[in-house]
Amino acid sequence: MTRERGRPRTFDIDFALDRAVEVFWKHGFQDASMHELTEAMGLSKPSLYAAFGDKEALYLKTLERYVQLLIERHAAALNGEADGRRAVEGFLRSLAKMLADPALPGGCFIINGTADCGGSTIPATVELALRAALQGSEMMVLDRLVRAQREGDLPEAAMPEALAAMFGSLIAGLAVLAKSGASEAKLNTVIDTAMAVWPPAAPPARKRHLKVA
């Protein structure tokens, strides 16, 4: 019995999944063809289906990998900086660097994918997963803003939820700009403007000087 032509006996699952990430990142779920996926992953269709399932299942796996490898890396910039303002700014600049990286497909996998949401050809599971991933970025920022407020980097009068929504919208806008060819420098200029809305922290309370009789 001969082995199916072109079908490898073994393959690197992570490598194949990373190639699928690139295809879906560039084309989205709807426009990515099985031919493009098998070519990029170096697999035959039977091998792809055996390892990852159908196109829907493969997309969900690539979305999970994108979140794991990229978003979590940026989260380190968000949570590793002690100062709240610098943490959020560093997170945004880290994202901008990735979004404008010419070696990557361009823009954001999640934002690119959500552009197709609402269409009849997008499975409900894919749409739900994309919306959850999109909310995940905003929730990471919200958690850091709440911490900043607790630690005094953000005044008590500030509204972390509103700021998180603003920064979430900013991230989506940066992704769209990058997808259309905007440079990292331009994205950073937008971030400079957005960070100007950060409310100044209240000055430390002055100690009263008691007169000694």
- 8, 11, 13, 16: CA torsion to nearest 10: -70
Is 107 inside any structural domain?
yes
pLDDT confidence of residue 117: 84
pLDDT confidence of residue 203: 61
Is 204 inside any structural domain?
no
C-alpha atoms less than 13 angstroms from C-alpha of 83 in its C-beta half-sphere: 7
Is 176 inside any structural domain?
yes
Is 213 inside any structural domain?
no
Full domain range(s) for residue 172: 13-195
The domain that contains 46 carries what CATH number? 1.10.357.10
Is 44 inside any structural domain?
yes
pLDDT confidence of residue 60: 97
Please state the domain count of the chain.
1
Q: What is the pTM of this model?
A: 0.83
Is 7 inside any structural domain?
no
Is 124 inside any structural domain?
yes
**How far apart (Å, rounded) are the C-alpha atoms in residues 14 and 42?**
12
Give average pLDDT by consecutive 10-residue segment, the chain, 213 residues.
48 91 94 95 93 95 90 84 95 94 92 82 92 90 96 94 96 94 97 93 51 45
**How far apart (Å, rounded) are the C-alpha atoms in residues 135 and 125?**
15
CA 200 to chain centre: 27
Is 179 inside any structural domain?
yes
Specify the amino acid at residue 61.
K
